[in-house]
Chains A and B, each alone.
Chain A
Amino acid sequence: MLIGLLLPFILITDISPFLRFGMFAEPVKKDMPVEHFMVKCQDESILEASKLGFSESNFYYLLRNYYYRDELIQFAGKLFQANQHLREVTIYRIEYNTKTLTGDTVSLGTFKR
């Protein structure tokens, strides 16, 4: 049991069912921008994660992963599979600096079914 507790700490990873407790541990750099994502549907309304079955945090966590893996096309494809009513989505990335209170919004692309 104690080995199970210590191994994730040493190897800096989760070894199910034993977990690494790195939440909030990462250092925050001065003036580090905070990023948000937003998905808009064909009618310009913002896609609500809860209507798809996601919690909001899980949805944006997943989207962020797909973005950094350069797999947004696959992400959009899966969104279309999960919701038959979606025909088109536009994904935005918003970078915001908490110190200077400045931000920048970039469209990452529009994807069609």
Chain B
Amino acid sequence: MIKKVPIVILFLLPIAVGLLFFYYLLPAVASSYQGQPDSFMRFLIDIFYPRFYVEKERFPLSFFTNKATQVFIRFTFIYVLVIVFYLLYRYYKSFQLFVSSKMEIFTNHKNISVLRILFFLYTIYILVLLTQDLFLLSSIQVFYKPYFWLKIFHVPFPPSTIIVSMSALGILSSLLVVINYRAIVFAIISFLVFFLFQSWAFSFEKLEHGFATYTYAFILLPFLLQEAANTTSSIKTWVLPLIKLSIAAVYTISALEKIFVSGSLWFMAEHLQTYLYLHPTIFSDFIRQYDWLCAALSSCIILFQLSFIGIFLFPTFKWWWLAGGILFHTATLVVMNIGHPLNPWVVVYIFFIDWTRVYDKVVGAFKNTKRFSAH
């Protein structure tokens, strides 16, 4: 009887969400569109969907009811996936073992140290860039519209003295993590500075995705350092696999987003051609001329992003996905001028590399060279 109760809840939840969708959300969307949102909808729009006030002027009501329907469809899609996972995990021992083998792996201090040093050296570089950005933005702070948490806590745009002091704090903290001095505490401080800087930079009505995977890795990194601090021998870690899974999931979710929003239209040459037109370079102008090339590139992008979760499930073939990722981000930079040469999306690939093995190979090769030259 006790075991049956959660199963009943499993089926009741989507029914409740469905009722909420048809009897509350759809009518509430219509009244918000007509300029009469109730207080709850006003709160939701202000916090989660401020672009509604812009899009309302551009699109018909059907655009927003379609969006609300998408929420329901996506919820059902994810819900079914979670239930299937839950049932497989609960009833199949082999599936349990498979999940455990992916989510609990062993690593060592050498590997974590390299990851720590590389990640926080890069963080120093990012903090310097963000500091420069904030100084530039301070000249147009009349356009400042606090984003999300900053809005909730009424945080104003910072004066130059605060920017400089916080930047110094973030950089110093990152340096201390690099030399492994109270690494967990200073990693958290460094993250908080980075997060605040990023939020301020986003508070001009435009969100950038440039730091997405880097931010997710950063959130989890103090936990990884904690795992390393707790043991002197080999480290049994769930955080490192979770970082890898988060990065891989972002690519797969990006592909799902394209499929859910555009469906088969995304594979049409016209789709990529329009985006290439909006980002003109000599390369985008060249590619735009060929329908077959645009259609082929669109299909390759979806295939690459959708399959990226495979890097987590089948690590033997990780180099294919890593090479594909580097090619993808480099092409985006060269062809559409989007991104950065030291792209954070590529930098986080460091988590997929076993640095101990790299170290051993490099040292081995070095020893061989020495032996060879001695002969």
- Chain A residues at the B interface, C-beta cutoff of 8 Å: 1-2, 4-6, 9-28, 30, 32, 34, 52-54, 57-58, 61-62, 64-65, 68-70, 78, 81-82, 98
Contact = CB atoms under 8 A, between A and B. Distances in A.
21 contacts: A1-B216, A5-B246, A5-B250, A12-B67, A13-B49, A14-B148, A16-B199, A17-B215, A21-B209, A21-B254, A22-B257, A23-B209, A24-B275, A34-B278, A53-B140, A58-B204, A58-B206, A61-B205, A68-B54, A78-B140, A82-B139
Among B249, B254, B257, max chain A CB count under 10 A is at: B257
Interface string B35-48: 00000000000001
A41 B250 CA distance: 43
Interface string B267-291: 0001101110110000000000000
Contacts of A17: 195, 198, 215-216, 219
A50 B205 CA distance: 17
Interface of B: 48-49, 51, 53-55, 57-58, 67, 70-71, 74-75, 78, 136-140, 142-143, 147-149, 195, 198-199, 202, 204-207, 209, 212, 215-216, 219-220, 242, 245-246, 249-250, 253-254, 256-258, 260-263, 265-266, 270-271, 273-275, 277-278
Nearest to B136: A53
B205 A10 contact: no
Contacts of B263: 27
A55 to B, nearest CB: 8
Contact of B205 (A21, A62, A78, A81): A62
A1 B219 contact: yes
B5 to A, nearest CB: 23
B298 to A, nearest CB: 10
A68 B74 CA distance: 29
A60 B271 CA distance: 22
Give the dominant DSSP class at B's interface: helix
A12 B205 contact: no
A98 B269 CA distance: 13
A35 to B, nearest CB: 10
Given A5-B249, A27-B265, A34-B274, A12 B71 contact: yes
Nearest to A24: B275
A16 B209 contact: no
A30 to B, nearest CB: 7
A21 B212 contact: yes
Contacts of B215: 17
A32 B330 CA distance: 29
B270 A25 contact: no
B57 A25 contact: no
Contacts of A53: 136-140
A42 to B, nearest CB: 20
B204 A62 contact: yes
Contacts of A10: 71, 74-75, 78
B40 to A, nearest CB: 15
A1 B220 contact: yes
Nearest to A57: B206
A1 B253 CA distance: 14
B261 A82 contact: no
A53 to B, nearest CB: 4
B58 A68 contact: yes
A25 B71 contact: no
A98 B280 CA distance: 13
B372 to A, nearest CB: 48
Contact of A2 (B55, B246, B266): B246
A28 B256 CA distance: 17
B54 A69 contact: yes
B140 A54 contact: yes
A65 B205 contact: yes
A9 to B, nearest CB: 5
Given A5-B216, A70-B57, A27 B271 contact: yes
